[in-house]
Amino acid sequence: MSISDLISSIQLFEQLPGDVLQKLTQTAKLQYFKKGTLIFDSSRSRKVLVYIVTGWIKLSRDVVDGSEVIIDVLSDKQCIGENMILGNEDQLFNAAAISDLELLSIPMDFLRELVTHNHQFSLNLLKILSKKQQKLSLEMEHLSIKSATQLIGCFLLRLCTLKKSENAVLRFPYDKSLLASRLGMRAETFSRALAKICKECEIKTVDDILHIRSIDKLVEYVCQHCSQTYPCKEIMQ
Amino acid sequence: MSISDLISSIQLFEQLPGDVLQKLTQTAKLQYFKKGTLIFDSSRSRKVLVYIVTGWIKLSRDVVDGSEVIIDVLSDKQCIGENMILGNEDQLFNAAAISDLELLSIPMDFLRELVTHNHQFSLNLLKILSKKQQKLSLEMEHLSIKSATQLIGCFLLRLCTLKKSENAVLRFPYDKSLLASRLGMRAETFSRALAKICKECEIKTVDDILHIRSIDKLVEYVCQHCSQTYPCKEIMQ
DNA sequence: CGGGTGTTTGATGTCATTCAACTTACGTGG
DNA sequence: CCACGTAAGTTGAATGACATCAAACACCCG
């Protein structure tokens, strides 16, 4: 797929005039990263917007005490840094490849310029930011009312709707330990909680492959403690 | 203060042309609510944007199991519902007055129309959404790495920077029990955690008045487990 | 004065973290 | 090809944090 094709397929750039798309195509760079490499650290997080073509990226922030917090884990067709285009000065973050990765990198300066002059682009951006905010807000709710076991179940449910797999066979898209931090818990807690939900909801696991027999049981176990009802209308991802 | 003056003082409407401001003035309604009354429920949360002139509002969502989650507690000069203007379909919420309240209510339809035609307005909205997202993202981080005691301390610190009170005497702006839910904990936990942080950081309390002797101690206790450093550059509020 | 609400306190239970030991899988170098 | 080291994952026991349930208290307002 050419850069030009990629650019036109990105939601953020929908309905933009041809000359803008062309300039974007010229400015964007296709890049490749090996699993485990750093894409950028916080000092550069304001400089580029990244669009993931294929692969997985983890976003994290450094904590004063020396540890790190996982903010998000993203994959195909998602953008990183939209909220850096306007207004965001402080909230920096690191991005690292957790799988082999193909991405499009677009200088933030160009987009800052674009948003002030192109109304359509600002509308696209607004739509995406609104959606992200929804997602964040729901995740916060989850953190405060769901147990570790339910958080994992909720993740599995979203994985189901994402893959739309009928038979409900799926696999963890990345390391369990990373998923644990993503969900705000320790790896040990994750391990135990996963075992628990598997037992309670008729799920079989072999390594990182999951066999969900009854989505209903999972929904019943997970979605009681939530303001949304399954399936969560693609709010996630 | 007249509606016209209010409208021009709102950040969301900065630098808008005179005729737009005038239409806004005609469309907006000044309303008053008594403490404890419902401003709108989730079915109406997509219909109006609310600007708080004076008072406190709590936003909440209903949970499937019958309980409610507090999403946010807001006061003077803040808007509610910006992310309903574009894109947000599902994530509804209730708003209730937790103090006597004076607010400006603006029909969402008007703003949806405005954002598609007025570029400046879309830029204003973008700035505000970016900031809100920052705030949310930071709060999520807090929920996953801070203890109940630290969450309270963090709230107190933000209260300090907000009031800019030199002597560090301040009072809880609303009920402790509400603040507890806002921070995602039980009232009992809040009470114990507050006692703990007071003991550890030389804070005296009389009813809802707080005497903070040493901000430094508080910062040391709270801000180790955070990606931001004090003072958090007005990210909060 | 009496009843409601908000707050505190105590006893107890549940859940998650911590620390440690151990297994498994994978890759490297001898 | 095997020995070894490393990292991820699991498991157990002990600790700590928060929730829960129950009771008591303070305060305000009718």
Interface residue B11 vs chain A (CB under 8 A): no
Look at residues B77, B85, B226, B236 and name the one whose alpha carbon lies nearest to residue B143.
B226
The tokens describing B65, both together, are 């199991």
Report the DSSP pairing between strands A48-54 and A203-206.
unpaired
| Mean confidence (pLDDT) of chain A | 93
CB pairs under 8 A between A and B: 152
CA distance B171 to B156: 9
Which contiguous run of DSSP H or E holds residue A138? helix A119-145
Decide if A87 and B126 are in contact by the 8 Å CB cutoff.
Answer: yes
Decide if B141 and A69 are in contact by the 8 Å CB cutoff.
Answer: yes
With H, G, I as helix, E, B as strand and everything else as coil, classify residue A16: coil
Radius of gyration of chain A (CA): 19
Q: Is the pLDDT of residue A161 over 90?
A: no
Please, what's the largest Cα pairwise distance for chain B?
Answer: 57
CA distance A113 to A51: 18
Sign of CA dihedral A192, A186, A97, A153: positive
Report the length, in residues, of chain B: 237
Report, in ranges, which bases of strand D sit under 7 Å from a protein C-beta.
8-13, 17-22
Asked if residues A119 and A72 have their Cβ atoms less than 8 Å apart, the reply is no
The tokens describing B131, both together, are 């900031």
Instruction: Please compute the mean of the pLDDT values over residues A114-123 and round it to a whole number.
Output: 98
CA distance B75 to B59: 11
Sign of CA dihedral A115, A119, A124, A127: positive
Instruction: Please compute the mean of the pLDDT values over residues A190-212 and round it to a whole number.
Output: 93
First to last CA, chain A: 23
Give me the pLDDT at residue A82, please: 95
Asked if residues B148 and A102 have their Cβ atoms less than 8 Å apart, the reply is no
Within 13 Å of residue A28, how many CA atoms lie on the same side as its CB?
26
Asked if residues B28 and B105 have their Cβ atoms less than 8 Å apart, the reply is yes
Q: Give A218-236 pLDDT, tens digit per residue.
A: 999 999 999 999 888 766 6
Decide if B116 and A138 are in contact by the 8 Å CB cutoff.
Answer: no
Locus of tokens 């029990």: B177
Question: Can you list the alpha helix ranges (DSSP code H) found in B100-147?
Answer: 108-117, 119-145
Closest-CA residue in chain A for B60?
A227
A73: chain B residues, CB-CB within 8 Å? none
Instruction: State what percent of residues in chain A have pLDDT above 70.
Output: 97
Give me the pLDDT at residue B166, please: 65
Give me the pLDDT at residue B69, please: 95
Please give the backbone phi and psi of residue A93, each rounded to the nearest 5 degrees, phi first.
-155, 165
User: How far, CA to CA in Å, does B20 sit from each of B51, B66, B115?
Assistant: 17, 43, 11
Please give the backbone phi and psi of residue A32, each rounded to the nearest 5 degrees, phi first.
-125, 140
CA dihedral A196, A197, A198, A203 (to 10 degrees): 170
- Chain A, residues 105-164, CB within 8 A of chain B, namely 115-116, 119, 122-123, 125-134, 136-141, 143-145
CA distance B13 to B5: 12
Locus of tokens 């402080």: A90
First to last CA, chain B: 23
Q: Which residues contact B2 (CB under 8 A, 6 or more apart)?
A: none
Q: Give A167-186 pLDDT, tens digit per residue.
A: 788 899 999 999 999 999 99
* Better-scored residue on pLDDT, A46 or B168: A46
Asked if residues B59 and B72 have their Cβ atoms less than 8 Å apart, the reply is yes
Decide if B130 and A133 are in contact by the 8 Å CB cutoff.
Answer: no
Closest-CA residue in chain A for B72?
A137
CA dihedral B111, B114, B120, B125 (to 10 degrees): 20
Which contiguous run of DSSP H or E holds residue A113? helix A108-117
Best interface-test mutation with B: which of A92, A111, A129, A222 has the largest number of B CBs within 10 A?
A: A129
CA distance B130 to B235: 11
Interface residue A38 vs chain B (CB under 8 A): no
Give me the pLDDT at residue A165, please: 65
* Angle (nearest 5°) at CA B71 between B68 and B76: 125
Q: Tell me the pLDDT of chain B (237 aa) as tens digits.
A: 899 999 999 999 999 999 999 999 999 999 999 999 999 999 999 999 999 999 999 999 999 999 999 999 999 999 999 999 997 778 899 999 999 999 999 999 999 999 999 999 999 999 999 999 999 999 999 999 999 999 999 999 999 888 776 678 899 999 999 999 999 999 999 999 999 999 999 999 988 899 999 899 999 999 999 999 988 876 666
Secondary-structure percent of chain B, ordered helix, strand, coil, rounded to 5: 45, 20, 30
Give me the pLDDT at residue B180, please: 97
Decide if A126 and B115 are in contact by the 8 Å CB cutoff.
Answer: yes
CA distance B157 to B221: 11
The tokens describing A2, both together, are 């050419």
Give me the pLDDT at residue A166, please: 65
Best interface-test mutation with B: which of A117, A120, A130 has the largest number of B CBs within 10 A?
A: A130
Q: Is the pLDDT of residue A17 over 80?
A: yes
